[in-house]
């Protein structure tokens, strides 16, 4: 055969009775950007129209070949092995007929294979959930960067990547090692992949998706058949085959890593299902798995989470009822056990303290610090003991378990159910029933659940909300897996007919679930088919013109031509996120002076931080545009939306929201290299400013030219920093005390505020939180509480086992609240350090990624080593040592701290609010 006739890649598509989806899978290969490939359709002796469809595909493209097994094998192995036998290309891939390959998969994998010379290349898998049209990634932490691995012993975590379909193999590697898929057993991928990983001298990893795994709503695949005991036996069987192969091929040292993968992935799936199985099934499950579990080493079990170890101990000791209770906690760290028992200084899972050393070690949950938790982060459990339905009214009886003692007499409780935006809220009265237990009842009238003007088609889960002293939490409501399935028809509006279904969720934690389905006229409004979708698109364009930015801009332009309302001012802080920042303190100074100015505040979400007497308008609404169009004054801390040019006669005060360590404005390469249109929009937005508040000469040197500011400069310091300069005054001390009380800070503990900035390329990922709190807690938790306040562009959730040491400071709209309550601050590159220096309190910098941050796309104005007002630490040990010796640390950095204050706090006097109001408002004419 001429070399030119040899394809670069053979893709083996296995199929059985799948005539409808096969063409889609094959098309995803033929449409690859790599053209020189072959498609081998390996048919496991289908009995439907698959052969006809496959032969049609073969006739339509010379790259397609069809092979058919003589008899059905009942699995995936035989057709894949047939594909391996007939493949002509030097590289081979596998595809299931119900899945697809992303368009660049073959070419991108082949390029890496040729570049590296590895035995195979593996890449990320996108899991497409067809019912919701959402996607998820397969073990994304394994595919964060491109790398070459010198054998599985170097990176044994890749045993978790046990799929065969997300890989491109050298065909000679498979054939030379006589690698085949085991026939007559399910989960064949696991043995094949374990062998491939173990035999490969090198393999490569790529961080992009190379396979689309489509998950149908009512899948009947092998992996969705975990309710069958034979399915469990197959998993155990494959695990034993892998163990045998390791032993026979001199790779016994890999057994522990494979066992860890087995426990964390394969076995973990069944544990999560146990709450939804009957007692006979659980007993049979225990009989099948326990002999294999007995062969796994204690060292491997020690690597599991505490929740997993508890479940496995209960399983192996025959406490199967307790096992089903414990299994609901897996992956749900705020879900409490029903009972916890204290004995001496130890706390144990369950209603009775264990009597033997093995049980004590397995059930010891002292590390959860349950009695030291606060309401917001502690563990609690709400279970339904009864669910009935009378007409459209759902009657619930709830048993609440509170082994941590989070609930007190003044705790308010309610059940909330939302279908659209606003939830239905029904108060609960918690009646004590034994130590740490409460019972309550609620009647949810489903007719009263808001569903919007055109109804909803959605699935939602009621939650139990608890609130005390400003602290709030919501928790899932656990249903009994065998509770009755209820249905009802509800009319919300004149034509608002909905069919409702109430049942127990048969996955995850097993929540109570309510499903709404439109009916009648509302159902007919749902577009069907391509013509309806096209009509919907036209309607969407009309809607965008009328109520989108185009409509808002037109309305704004019309109103802005009217005379200004001279007494009206629009205030906005943090892009509407709350009552905070410098606009708050300017507003309060206006009130103190009783100036005749009517202030409207914009908000973008939660309104709870605003005083009750404040007039509010939703940011981006038509009312917001009308207010801006009529106002004489705009006061803002970020930059009002570009959509609104400043009307003639309006004056705009820009307070900005912090000094600059990282590059800003036209000093940022992305803006400097942007189109003229984008740069023009930026200049026009900044050109609206009439006055800019300045905190220091450094701010003038960096920020002002970077933004090409032409506005008048008010050299007053930041109004928001007045309270920090005057932190020792009684008013600020009282405010700090209120914050400590709201956060449940014990009187004998000091507060370290941790406030990292966001990373441009990793917004809302939590990656800005660099400190290892779990490792830090043993060093500091006896003296300190850390209040974590991430940037609004990021997110972070406190693990319950760290609730004794950490508090979430994100509920305070004004960060000054937590700064005043703190004894020191821990940050990295955040502009908060410039503000905090006004207090004179210690500043510590955790900078383990400084080189990456400094060398990023944006760049910085300073080398942090040159200006840092405190120590720069990069390890947990160094951080602990610095915090334990803050007094000495501050003495050693006193001169640097003073120089820092001189550079960045030079205009701060504690009277900035007065100076700004004098400069911008006083002297004008007010109606």
Structure confidence by residue, pLDDT tens digits, 535-574 = 444 444 444 444 466 667 777 777 777 777 888 999 999 9
Residue 389 has which token pair? 């339905």
Q: Which residue has the tokens 């005054």?
A: 729
- Give the lowest-confidence range in 54-63, 837-846, 848-857: 848-857
Per-residue pLDDT averaged across 353-379, rounded? 92
Per-residue pLDDT averaged across 193-217, rounded? 95
Contacts of 771 (CB under 8 A, 6+ apart): 754, 826, 846, 876, 879
Q: Using CA atoms, how far apart are residues 894 and 898, in angstroms rounded to an integer?
A: 6
**b/e sequence 319-347, b meaning 16+ C-beta within 10 Å:** ebebbbbbbbbbebbbbbbbbbbeeeeeb
Type and span of the H or E element at 693? strand 691-694
Q: Using CA atoms, how far apart are residues 706 and 326, in angstroms rounded to an integer?
A: 57
Q: Using CA atoms, how far apart are residues 779 and 101, in angstroms rounded to an integer?
A: 50
SS3 339: coil
Apex CA 601: angle with CA 599 and CA 606, to 5°?
A: 155
Residue 397 has which token pair? 């009886």
pLDDT at residue number 546: 44
Q: What is the pLDDT of residues 763-794, one digit of tens each?
A: 667 778 889 999 999 999 999 999 999 887 77
Q: Using CA atoms, how far apart are residues 905 and 831, in angstroms rounded to an integer?
A: 12
Residue 488 has which token pair? 């009802």
pLDDT at residue number 218: 52
SS3 729: coil
Per-residue pLDDT averaged across 742-767, rounded? 84
Asked if the model's pLDDT at residue 620 lies above 90, the reply is: no
- Please report, to the nearest 10 degrees, the dihedral formed by the alpha carbons of residues 585, 586, 587, 590 taken in order: 120
Say which DSSP state 658 is in: -
Q: What is the pLDDT of residues 6-15, one digit of tens each?
A: 999 999 999 9
Asked if the model's pLDDT at residue 133 lies above 90, the reply is: no
pLDDT at residue number 455: 85
Apex CA 162: angle with CA 160 and CA 166, to 5°?
A: 115
- At residue 526 the predicted structure's pLDDT band, cuts being 50, 70 and 90, is low
pLDDT at residue number 548: 61
pLDDT at residue number 523: 63
Q: What is the pLDDT of residues 151-189, one digit of tens each?
A: 999 999 999 999 999 999 999 999 999 999 999 888 889
Summary mean pLDDT of the chain: 91
pLDDT at residue number 782: 93
User: For the chain, what is the radius of gyration of the CA atoms?
Assistant: 32
Q: What is the pLDDT of residues 887-918, one digit of tens each?
A: 999 999 999 999 999 999 999 999 999 999 99
**0.85 exceeded by the pTM?**
no
- At residue 927 the predicted structure's pLDDT band, cuts being 50, 70 and 90, is very low
Q: Using CA atoms, how far apart are residues 209 and 205, in angstroms rounded to an integer?
A: 11
Q: Using CA atoms, how far apart are residues 45 and 15, in angstroms rounded to an integer?
A: 9
């Amino acid at each position: 055969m001429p070399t030119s006739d040899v394809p670069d890649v053979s893709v083996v598509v296995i199929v059985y009775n799948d005539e409808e989806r096969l063409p889609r899978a094959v098309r995803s290969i033929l449409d690859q950007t790599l053209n020189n490939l072959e498609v081998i359709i390996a048919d496991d002796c289908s009995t439907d129209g698959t052969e006809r469809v496959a032969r049609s595909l073969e006739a339509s493209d010379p790259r397609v070949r069809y092979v058919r097994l003589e008899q059905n094998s009942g699995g995936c192995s035989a057709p894949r092995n047939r594909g391996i036998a007939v493949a002509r290309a030097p590289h081979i891939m596998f595809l299931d007929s119900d899945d697809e390959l992303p368009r660049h998969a073959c070419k991108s994998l082949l390029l890496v294979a040729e570049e590296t010379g590895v035995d195979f290349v593996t890449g990320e898998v996108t899991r497409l959930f067809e019912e919701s049209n959402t996607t998820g990634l397969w073990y994304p932490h394994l595919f964060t960067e491109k790398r070459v691995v010198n054998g599985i012993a170097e990176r044994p975590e890749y045993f978790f990547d046990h799929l065969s379909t997300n890989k491109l193999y050298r065909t000679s590697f498979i054939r030379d090692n006589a690698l085949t898929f085991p026939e007559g057993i399910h989960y064949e991928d696991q043995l094949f992949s374990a062998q491939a990983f173990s035999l490969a001298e090198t393999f490569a990893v790529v961080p992009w998706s190379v396979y689309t795994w489509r998950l149908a709503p009512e899948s009947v695949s092998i992996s969705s058949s975990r309710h069958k005991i034979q399915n469990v036996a197959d998993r155990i069987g494959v695990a034993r085959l892998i163990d045998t192969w390791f032993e026979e091929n001199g790779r016994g040292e890999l057994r522990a890593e494979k066992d860890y993968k087995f426990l964390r992935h394969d076995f973990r799936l069944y544990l999560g299902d146990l709450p939804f199985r009957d007692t006979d099934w659980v007993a049979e499950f225990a009989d099948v798995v326990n002999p294999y579990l007995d062969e796994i080493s204690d060292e491997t079990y020690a690597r599991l989470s505490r929740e997993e170890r508890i479940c496995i101990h209960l399983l192996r000791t025959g406490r199967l009822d307790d096992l089903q209770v414990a299994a609901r906690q897996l992956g749900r760290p705020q879900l409490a056990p029903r009972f916890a028992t204290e004995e001496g200084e130890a706390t144990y899972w369950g209603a009775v303290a264990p009597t033997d050393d093995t049980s004590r070690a397995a059930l010891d949950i002292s590390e959860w610090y349950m009695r030291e938790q606060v309401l917001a982060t502690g563990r609690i459990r709400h279970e339904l003991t009864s669910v009935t339905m009378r007409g459209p009214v759902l009657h619930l009886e709830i048993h609440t378990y509170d082994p941590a003692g989070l609930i007190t007499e003044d705790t308010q409780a309610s059940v909330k159910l939302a279908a659209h935006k606003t939830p239905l809220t029904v108060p609960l009265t918690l009646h004590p029933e034994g130590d740490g237990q409460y019972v309550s009842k609620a009647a949810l009238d489903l007719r009263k659940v808001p569903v919007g003007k055109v109804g909803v088609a959605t699935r939602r889960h009621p939650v139990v909300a608890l609130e005390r002293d400003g602290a709030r939490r919501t928790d899932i409501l656990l249903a009994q897996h065998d509770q009755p399935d209820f249905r009802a028809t509800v009319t919300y509006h004149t034509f608002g007919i909905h069919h409702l279904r109430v049942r127990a969720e048969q996955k995850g934690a097993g929540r109570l679930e309510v499903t709404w389905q439109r009916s009648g006229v509302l159902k007919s409004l749902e577009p069907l088919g391509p013509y309806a979708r096209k009509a919907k698109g036209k309607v969407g364009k009309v809607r965008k013109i009328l109520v989108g930015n185009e409509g808002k801009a037109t309305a704004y332009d019309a109103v802005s031509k009217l005379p200004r309302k001279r007494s009206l001012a629009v205030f906005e802080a943090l892009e509407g996120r709350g009552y905070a920042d410098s606009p708050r303190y300017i507003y309060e100074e206006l009130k103190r002076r009783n100036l005749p100015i009517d202030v409207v505040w914009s908000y973008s979400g939660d309104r709870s931080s605003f005083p009750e007497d404040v007039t509010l308008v939703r940011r981006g609404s038509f009312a917001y545009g009308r207010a801006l169009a009529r106002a004489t004054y705009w006061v803002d801390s970020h930059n009002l939306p570009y959509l609104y040019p400043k009307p003639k006669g309006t004056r705009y005060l820009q307070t900005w929201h912090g000094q600059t360590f990282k590059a800003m404005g036209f000093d940022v390469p992305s803006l400097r290299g942007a189109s003229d249109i984008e740069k023009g929009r930026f200049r026009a937005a900044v050109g609206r400013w009439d006055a800019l508040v300045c905190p220091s000469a450094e701010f003038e040197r960096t920020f002002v030219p970077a933004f090409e500011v032409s506005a008048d400069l008010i050299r007053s310091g930041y109004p928001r920093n007045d309270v920090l300069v005057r932190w020792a005054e009684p008013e600020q001390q009282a405010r700090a005390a209120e914050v400590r009380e709201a956060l449940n800070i014990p009187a004998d503990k000091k507060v370290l505020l941790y406030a990292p900035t966001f990373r441009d390329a990793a917004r809302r990922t939590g990656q800005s939180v660099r400190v290892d709190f779990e490792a830090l807690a043993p060093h500091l938790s006896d003296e300190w509480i850390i209040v974590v306040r991430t940037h609004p562009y990021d997110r972070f959730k406190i693990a319950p086992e760290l609730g004794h040491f950490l508090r979430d400071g994100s509920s305070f709209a004004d960060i000054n609240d937590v700064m005043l309550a703190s004894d020191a601050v821990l940050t990295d590159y955040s502009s908060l350090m410039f503000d905090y220096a006004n207090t004179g309190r210690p500043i510590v910098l955790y900078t383990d990624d400084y080189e990456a941050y400094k060398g990023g796309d944006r760049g910085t104005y300073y080398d942090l080593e040159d200006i840092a007002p405190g120590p720069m630490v990069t390890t947990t040990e160094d951080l602990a040592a610095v915090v334990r010796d803050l007094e000495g640390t501050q003495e050693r950095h006193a001169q640097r701290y003073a120089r820092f204050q001189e550079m960045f706090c030079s205009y701060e006097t504690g009277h900035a609010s007065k100076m700004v109001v004098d400069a911008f408002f006083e002297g004008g004419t007010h109606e």
